[in-house]
Chains A and B, each alone.
Chain A
């Protein structure tokens, strides 16, 4: 050690800097306020500051991750010893986050399960956002539906939000057993928050799950994107300015050429076809604010012969025409004194025109959602978020051939508030309340939600979440009985999450209790449920289980893989079931493996995804009881190959169910027995043994900078 003797006339300040745990802190910036005099603490936390200044000064200690501390000192040529203990500050980057029920995809945050780019490249997803979420724990693949089924909940129990605003009818309308897709292009989004339960008081009217998608803030440059696919094509043009941008796109698809080449299991009269157009704009607002607007409109249709069990011939002809518009405007702004604000308005309008032999039905569903949220950060430890929401639902059914018409309108007023309290970087509590009122049901409800999370020394964290969730029954039932009240669910979730050096481990146990579910008699189930009677709210049930997720991007070079397993034990009395049954959409054992490997010499990414479950429950009327049979196990192996020959060109080829396994999702039975006294059944299969996808994506950009570069 070097001994430093104070030079005559110079003062010496020295000491040792420690944190609250008693560890020394290196690299602390130590200086006299208002002067150029200063130093840094050494690796062992010691420091020495020699100065010729005289008089009273403020000595400041400053470093990352701690609160700055100041001391009044008098410099008079002598030696002073100051050894402070610095208090930690709450660091957004490293502090504990509540991960119970949550799976986040983001480029910006830490506790994430996926990156946005991972979503597009899951082979079995075929470019559908929801397809990628189906490889995450807690969700079940229901191949004859395509929507998101979370932990024993049906598809209507998942609510979808874009930039915090509700999306009505996020999935395309389809005939029964014909799988559907999300309407929105995955490239629109920079991140997503998929919750399988226990979520924030900010979200409601969803018993099982909330999926919040966040759109891209500002595109980088002016560019045009052309896509040519085996099913259709599209063009997108982006204009990016300093403070604003606009993107417009138009796409079309038609499955008939594809289906004329590849044999289908379904009996199509007219293969699915459609177009969509969208415009989105962004404008910077002041220093830190942004305003976004987005409009999407589309139209599509299909005509299919649905076989009727127990009858000869092609069955019943179902034609569907769907028109859909979604528009929204949203804003974000940071105010003064720890205030920030966001909110907006969204409108969804879905019109289905259904032809069923001689019947002509027109259904229209409209949702108008508006929301304003204010957040106040009282300190780095404590913040409160409060929001006001209004939902206007309008649903109308027309039986055109009979000239009949019925409709209902419902208004929900919602107030929510949520407080976050960080005890330290290791421990956080969150408490929230969501209060709502429905004008149609004349019901007021209050849903409390609580969660907490603790971070261990080894970076792993444990979260606990519990809460009450309310959701109005589906429109098709509310229109029949306008007094129907909220269905209810209680969630309890325990989660462990560790993400370190390219590996992620996530384990979760959950219990979900359902109450006031709807039960009814139904005269006819096929080809669409009709003739509901005796609608009651005496259903109930539960779902419990656990799931595991492991992802590794480190162990094998250029390889990223994840493995998930979910166990779901769910029984409920609902719909036409008279007793508690295991629903068809809640297989007990679910798993998936996704592997992506980048082959540098070929400039290609190879993707493999494998999904399985132990089989779907179904009702066999030839056997006693309900939901009394189970299909064989579901298995799907999908392959994807993406080739990047140039920075602006991607060629993508994908194939689902490579082995052509004959998948059966259940059976449909005749409503009456045949002459032998048995109900005849026919299996519900995949559209085709395999689905092949070929896409060429080309980006054209007159990058002015690139041109400038070439002229240098």
Chain B
């Protein structure tokens, strides 16, 4: 009996601690997500990535902290003005976090999409010499992300960007890319309607779709 009650106490303690930790996790995530939204400069994005990396260290079972660290670093890479070497270093760091996230949650459409986004970044560092090789890899990766979840608007809008680049390169019309932009916009609407409040699931990318709609698909 004594043994039994001790076990109950221990279990309750664990439950309490887990709850405390969960609350701290949620609080930390909320804070970092807010800061990432506000971050503009590569420096601010790097700080935001640091924040997510700290959470990832504490919560080794969660894929979202590493996912957001990868996203912040990839965006820092795109916005960096420090030359090829710094951009490559940022994308390499982003890749590490994305791979970690993927090890925690395999076959996750969002993580595969971010991996493709990072490949796009590496391509953008030196399109002349990397384009031929990496554009195929990026499209393949986005294709896989869409296959894993056909409702993932980010995978679709990123694929639309690649399709647009290909169409421009080969002097073809933007119809295919614009079709993707439209379906991604629909999915973004749907996502906004069904999103649980306070959830940390990725929701970014709508501006990208609106921008493409505005500039090339009118």
Known: A27-B43, A40-B50, A93-B89. A553 touches B128 (CB 8 A): yes
Known: A64-B93, A560-B128. A712 touches B143 (CB 8 A): no
Evaluate contact between A117 and B93: CB separation under 8 angstroms.
Answer: no
Closest to B31 in A: A36
- Chain A 108-157 interface residues, beta-carbon cutoff 8 Å to B: 115-118
Kindly list chain A residues whose C-beta atoms are within 8 Å of the C-beta of B47.
Answer: 27, 40
A188 at the interface (CB under 8 A from B): no
Segment among A164-172, A669-677, A703-711 that sits at the interface with chain B: A703-711
**Least CB distance, A119 to chain B, in whole angstroms:** 12
Evaluate contact between B58 and A645: CB separation under 8 angstroms.
Answer: no
Complex: how many Å from CA A674 to CA B51? 91
Kindly list chain A residues whose C-beta atoms are within 8 Å of the C-beta of B143.
Answer: 703, 705-706, 708-709
Known: A220-B136, A502-B126, A603-B169. A712 touches B150 (CB 8 A): yes
**Least CB distance, A605 to chain B, in whole angstroms:** 10
Q: Name the interface size band of chain B.
A: 35 or more
Evaluate contact between A27 and B156: CB separation under 8 angstroms.
Answer: no
Closest to A190 in B: B133
Kindly list chain A residues whose C-beta atoms are within 8 Å of the C-beta of B43.
Answer: 26-27, 43
B147 at the interface (CB under 8 A from A): yes
- Chain B 164-218 interface residues, beta-carbon cutoff 8 Å to A: 166, 169-171, 176, 179-180, 183
**Least CB distance, B179 to chain A, in whole angstroms:** 7
**Least CB distance, B6 to chain A, in whole angstroms:** 26
B140 at the interface (CB under 8 A from A): yes
Kindly list chain B residues whose C-beta atoms are within 8 Å of the C-beta of A116.
Answer: 133
Kindly list chain A residues whose C-beta atoms are within 8 Å of the C-beta of B84.
Answer: 501-502
Evaluate contact between A38 and B129: CB separation under 8 angstroms.
Answer: no
Among B129, B136, B137, B179, the most chain A Cβ lie within 10 Å of the Cβ of B129
Closest to B145 in A: A705
Closest to B96 in A: A64
Known: A27-B46, A220-B140. A705 touches B179 (CB 8 A): no
A524 at the interface (CB under 8 A from B): no
B79 at the interface (CB under 8 A from A): no
Complex: how many Å from CA A600 to CA B131? 14
Closest to A65 in B: B89
Kindly list chain A residues whose C-beta atoms are within 8 Å of the C-beta of B169.
Answer: 600, 603
Evaluate contact between B50 and A27: CB separation under 8 angstroms.
Answer: yes
SS class of chain B's interface: helix, strand, loop or mixed? helix
Kindly list chain B residues whose C-beta atoms are within 8 Å of the C-beta of A62.
Answer: 53
Closest to A712 in B: B183
Kindly list chain A residues whose C-beta atoms are within 8 Å of the C-beta of B156.
Answer: 712
Complex: how many Å from CA A706 to CA B180? 12
Kindly list chain B residues whose C-beta atoms are within 8 Å of the C-beta of A601.
Answer: 171
B19 at the interface (CB under 8 A from A): no
Kindly list chain B residues whose C-beta atoms are within 8 Å of the C-beta of A29.
Answer: 50, 53-54
A31 at the interface (CB under 8 A from B): yes
Closest to A644 in B: B170
Among A117, A220, A705, the most chain B Cβ lie within 10 Å of the Cβ of A705
Evaluate contact between B170 and A220: CB separation under 8 angstroms.
Answer: no
Complex: how many Å from CA A553 to CA B27? 48
Name the contact of B89 in the complex, choosing from A64, A560, A706, A710 (C-beta under 8 A): A64
Complex: how many Å from CA A712 to CA B145? 14
B159 at the interface (CB under 8 A from A): yes
Evaluate contact between A115 and B147: CB separation under 8 angstroms.
Answer: no
A646 at the interface (CB under 8 A from B): yes
Kindly list chain A residues whose C-beta atoms are within 8 Å of the C-beta of B50.
Answer: 27, 29, 38, 40
Closest to B144 in A: A705
Kindly list chain B residues whose C-beta atoms are within 8 Å of the C-beta of A426.
Answer: none
Closest to B21 in A: A36
A647 at the interface (CB under 8 A from B): yes
Complex: how many Å from CA A706 to CA B176? 11
Closest to B133 in A: A107
Would you give the 0/1 interface string for B72-95, flagging 1 where the beta carbon is closer than 8 Å to chain A? 000000000001110011001100
Q: Name the interface size band of chain A.
A: 35 or more
Known: A705-B140, A708-B150, A709-B146. A38 touches B54 (CB 8 A): yes
Name the contact of A709 in the complex, choosing from B93, B136, B180 (C-beta under 8 A): B180
**Least CB distance, A189 to chain B, in whole angstroms:** 13
Kindly list chain B residues whose C-beta atoms are within 8 Å of the C-beta of A118.
Answer: 129
Evaluate contact between B146 and A36: CB separation under 8 angstroms.
Answer: no
Known: A26-B43, A38-B51, A647-B166. A221 touches B129 (CB 8 A): no
Known: A38-B50, A502-B126. A117 touches B136 (CB 8 A): no
- Chain B 122-146 interface residues, beta-carbon cutoff 8 Å to A: 126, 128-130, 132-133, 136-137, 140, 143-144, 146
B12 at the interface (CB under 8 A from A): no
**Least CB distance, B206 to chain A, in whole angstroms:** 17
Evaluate contact between B92 and A93: CB separation under 8 angstroms.
Answer: yes
Name the contact of A553 in the complex, choosing from B46, B129, B166 (C-beta under 8 A): B129
Evaluate contact between B128 and A34: CB separation under 8 angstroms.
Answer: no
Name the contact of A708 in the complex, choosing from B25, B51, B128, B146 (C-beta under 8 A): B146
Kindly list chain A residues whose C-beta atoms are within 8 Å of the C-beta of B46.
Answer: 27, 40
A94 at the interface (CB under 8 A from B): yes
**Least CB distance, B209 to chain A, in whole angstroms:** 14
**Least CB distance, A556 to chain B, in whole angstroms:** 11
B118 at the interface (CB under 8 A from A): no
Complex: how many Å from CA A35 to CA B59? 10
A558 at the interface (CB under 8 A from B): yes
Kindly list chain B residues whose C-beta atoms are within 8 Å of the C-beta of A598.
Answer: 128
- Chain A 571-586 interface residues, beta-carbon cutoff 8 Å to B: none
Evaluate contact between A117 and B132: CB separation under 8 angstroms.
Answer: yes
B55 at the interface (CB under 8 A from A): yes
Kindly list chain A residues whose C-beta atoms are within 8 Å of the C-beta of B89.
Answer: 64-65, 93-94
Evaluate contact between A93 and B88: CB separation under 8 angstroms.
Answer: yes
Evaluate contact between B159 and A709: CB separation under 8 angstroms.
Answer: yes
Evaluate contact between A36 and B83: CB separation under 8 angstroms.
Answer: no
B24 at the interface (CB under 8 A from A): yes
Name the contact of A36 in the complex, choosing from B55, B92, B133, B166 (C-beta under 8 A): B55
B104 at the interface (CB under 8 A from A): no
B33 at the interface (CB under 8 A from A): no
Complex: how many Å from CA A43 to CA B136? 37
Closest to A706 in B: B143
Evaluate contact between A645 and B170: CB separation under 8 angstroms.
Answer: yes
Would you give the 0/1 interface string for B51-65, flagging 1 where the beta carbon is closer than 8 Å to chain A? 101110110000000
Complex: how many Å from CA A27 to CA B147? 37
Kindly list chain B residues whose C-beta atoms are within 8 Å of the C-beta of A560.
Answer: 128-129
Kindly list chain B residues whose C-beta atoms are within 8 Å of the C-beta of A603.
Answer: 169-171
Would you give the 0/1 interface string for A530-574, flagging 1 where the beta carbon is closer than 8 Å to chain B? 000000000000000000000001000010100000000000000
Complex: how many Å from CA A36 to CA B171? 51
Kindly list chain B residues whose C-beta atoms are within 8 Å of the C-beta of A600.
Answer: 169
**Least CB distance, A362 to chain B, in whole angstroms:** 44
Evaluate contact between A221 and B140: CB separation under 8 angstroms.
Answer: yes
Closest to A35 in B: B58
Evaluate contact between A647 and B170: CB separation under 8 angstroms.
Answer: yes
Complex: how many Å from CA A31 to CA B65? 16
Kindly list chain A residues whose C-beta atoms are within 8 Å of the C-beta of B53.
Answer: 29, 62
Would you give the 0/1 interface string for A639-651, flagging 1 where the beta carbon is closer than 8 Å to chain B? 0000011110000
A: residues with CB less than 8 A from B are 26-27, 29, 31, 34-36, 38, 40, 43, 62, 64-65, 93-94, 107, 115-118, 220-221, 501-502, 553, 558, 560, 598, 600-601, 603, 644-647, 703-706, 708-710, 712
Pull 13 A–B residue pairs with CB atoms less than 8 Å apart, ordered by A: A27-B47, A36-B27, A36-B28, A36-B55, A93-B85, A93-B92, A115-B133, A501-B84, A553-B128, A600-B169, A704-B147, A709-B143, A712-B180
What 15 additional pairs, Cβ within 8 angstroms, besides A647-B166, A705-B143?
A27-B43, A27-B47, A36-B24, A115-B130, A560-B129, A703-B143, A704-B147, A708-B150, A709-B159, A710-B176, A712-B146, A712-B150, A712-B156, A712-B179, A712-B183
- 6 closest A-B pairs by beta carbon, nearest first, are A705-B143, A29-B50, A40-B47, A38-B54, A36-B28, A40-B50
